[in-house]
Amino acid sequence: MRALPAVPSDTTLSLRAGEWATGGNVVGVTQVDVRTVRVGGSPEGMAGWVWVRGHNLECRWPWVACAREWCVRVAVRAEALYDALAR
């Protein structure tokens, strides 16, 4: 596996179905967009995947006051990070 790419904070990742999973190891079947806060750490039992913590894009809307450091945590296939950064 290649080294993880640098993912700057506030990067928007558009993750396709099959590229991400929930904390319960359930692979996502739709696209999800995440504005990153932090990328790193490995979900237990999911070799080749990495945690992405961030916010839904809706958190930028003026009437949504998300005061948390991050509100979304998904596991992402490490190789899919390269694809998502290139989109």
What pLDDT does residue 1 have? 58
Contacts (Cβ under 8 Å, ≥6 apart) of 82: 2, 5
What pLDDT does residue 86 have? 86
Residues of the chain with pLDDT under 70: 1, 61-64
- Which of 80, 24, 44, 25 has the alpha carbon at shortest distance from 34? 80
Note if the pTM is more than 0.75: yes
Q: Rounded CA gap, 82 and 69, in Å?
A: 24
Q: Rounded CA gap, 48 and 60, in Å?
A: 30
Answer for the pair 66, 55: CB distance below 8 angstroms, yes or no.
yes
What pLDDT does residue 17 have? 97
What pLDDT does residue 81 have? 92
